[in-house]
A and B are shown apart, each in its own frame.
Chain A
Amino acid sequence: MEIVVGIGEAKIAASGILKTIGLGSCVGIAIYDVKRKIGGLAHAMLPKSNGVKNAKFVDSAVDILVEGIASMGGSKANMVAKIAGGAQVFKHLSLENLRIGDRNVEAVKKALENHRIRIISEDTGGSLGRTVYFYLSDGRMLVKYSNGDVLWI
Chain B
Amino acid sequence: MVEIKFNAEQMDALKELGNIGVAHAATSLSTMLGKLIEMSVPSVKLAEISKIHEFFDEKPVTGVVTALEDMENGRSGYLFIAFPNSDRLVKLLTSDQSLQDSTLMEVGNILSSSFCNAIAEMLGIMLIPSPPSFASDLIIAIVEAIVAQIADKGDYVIIFETELREKEEAIEILVTLIPDDNFLGYVMKMMGMLG
Contact = CB atoms under 8 A, between A and B. Distances in A.
Nearest to B133: A93
Nearest to A57: B152
B152 A50 contact: yes
Interface size class of B (residues with CB under 8 A): 20 to 34
Give the contact-size bracket for chain A: 35 or more
A6 interface: yes
Contacts of A7: 49-50, 52-53, 140, 144, 147
Contacts of B135: 89-91
Given A6-B49, A9-B50, A131-B58, A95 B140 contact: no
A21 interface: yes
A125 interface: no
Contacts of A96: 149
A69 B67 CA distance: 39
Interface of A: 4, 6-9, 21-26, 45-46, 50, 54, 56-57, 87, 89-96, 98, 100-101, 128-131, 146-147
Given A7-B144, A89-B141, A98-B149, 4 more contacts: A6-B50, A9-B50, A24-B148, A90-B145
